[in-house]
Structures are given as structure tokens and as C-alpha cells.
Amino acid sequence: MTAQRRKHLLLAVLVTLLAVLAGWAYGRYTVAKADAVRACADLAVCRSIASRIQGSRNKPNLAEAQELQLAVLARQVELAAKAALIAPDRVARIWPEPARRVEDTVYKEKPTQILLKDVSMRQIVVFLHTLTTSTSGLWAKSLRLSASRGPEIQDSWSAEVVVTYLIYAPPKAVQASAEDRGI
């Protein structure tokens, strides 16, 4: 083998090795790029979750540990009525219903019927907004309106509102199981 031929062979081996090295580096680059794209997506999800957690710190609890006392619930209704400029005699009834289990969960739903008589639509909206945005955890489940009768009565409504909240109340079997595990 001549020196010239040896140089060409060495140069060919060197170019081949450089091509293999470039292919390997490109493969590593594409894997790293895909990992970076996934990491950016994960970061966006984490930021979104962190934002929701931060926002939920100021919100009311999802569920109460026990039923609200009727006096506490009545006080919240009174405060909402006062904010809506509803006279106390216009709140005709506050009627708590029995708590009912929410499907197969550890929660019970506690509905309460509230009857408002001869109030304006604006008062109803302000009342519901005030009642459901307080820290009580209440939300409006249903609303039934009926117009007051009489030719001289304008914008006067009777409203039957059902507000509800959740109570954390695991079934006895779940409580016993948790106690057995030392929780």
C-alpha cells in the first residue's frame, strides 16, 4: 500500500467516524429537544395547578365537618337579606331538610329551603350572590319564581330558593376501616 493510498484510507475512515459521530450527536439533540418540549408542557401544567391552589386558599371549605347550626344558617340568610335590602318580614321561611348522601361518596348534601315574598328581581340576585359568595360554602341548587298578583304590583316576586352545602360524613364502615388503620 502506498503512502498516498494510506492517506486516502485514513481520511475515509476519519470522515466516516465524523459522520457517525455527527449522526449520534443529532440523535442525542432530537431526544433532548423532545425532553425539553415535554418539560415545558409539564411546567405549564404545574404553574396552572399552583395557580389554582393559590386561588383556592381564600375560598371556603368544600365541605363542613358537621351540619351548620340553624341559628348560624339563619344569621347568614339574614345578612344576605340585609345586603339585598330585603325587609326581615319578607323572608317568610327557612326550612332545613335532612342531609342526603351524595351517591357513593363520603359527603352528604344538606339542602335548606328559603322562601322570599314580594321582593324585586334585583333583590333576589343580590341576595343569592351575597349568600353564595360568603365563606359559608353554600350554593344555590334551585330557584323557583312566581310573580305576585295584582295590577298595582310591579317587579314583585316570590322566590323559593334551595341552597345547599356539603358535609364530610363518611359511612360508618369507612370510619371503622380508617380507625383500624390508625388514621
The pLDDT assigned to 18 comes to 92
DSSP state of 156: -
Is 25 in the same domain as 73? no
Is 151 in the same domain as 164? yes
Q: 134 exposed, middle or buried (CB, 10 Å; 0-12, 13-18, 19+)? A: middle
Mean pLDDT of 155-176: 80
How far CA 115 is from CA of 61, 65, 96, 156, 158, in Å, comes to 26, 27, 12, 14, 7
C-alpha cell at 62: 368544600
pLDDT digits (tens, 9 = 90+) for 116-144: 999 999 999 999 999 888 766 788 999 99
User: Is the CB of residue 86 less than 8 Å from the CB of residue 116?
Assistant: yes
Is 134 in the same domain as 153? yes
At position 87, the amino acid (one-letter code) is A
Is 49 in the same domain as 75? no
Mean pLDDT of 85-112: 90
In the chain, how many H helices and how many E strands? 4, 6
User: Is the CB of residue 63 less than 8 Å from the CB of residue 168?
Assistant: yes
The pLDDT assigned to 51 comes to 84
Q: What is the pTM (predicted TM-score) of this model?
A: 0.58
Mean pLDDT of 139-163: 85
pLDDT digits (tens, 9 = 90+) for 50-97: 888 777 665 555 566 667 788 888 899 999 999 999 999 999 999 999
Using the structure block, give the residue that is written with the C-alpha cell 369507612. Answer: 174
Is 54 in the same domain as 113? no
Q: Residue 183 domain-assigned?
A: no
8: domain range? Answer: 1-59
Phi-psi region of 85 (alpha: psi -120 to 50; beta: other; left: phi over 0): left
Phi, psi of 108 (to 5 degrees): -120, 150
User: Is the CB of residue 90 less than 8 Å from the CB of residue 51?
Assistant: no
The pLDDT assigned to 103 comes to 83
Q: Distance between CA atoms of 60 and 72, rounded to whole angstroms?
A: 16
Identify the band that residue 180 occupies on the pLDDT scale cut at 50, 70 and 90.
Answer: low
User: Is the CB of residue 159 less than 8 Å from the CB of residue 144?
Assistant: yes
Identify the band that residue 17 occupies on the pLDDT scale cut at 50, 70 and 90.
Answer: very high
Q: Residue 182 domain-assigned?
A: no
Give the end of a domain, one of 11, 34, 59.
59
C-alpha cell at 19: 459522520
Domain containing 138 — which CATH number? 3.30.70.60
Give the end of a domain, one of 44, 59, 74.
59
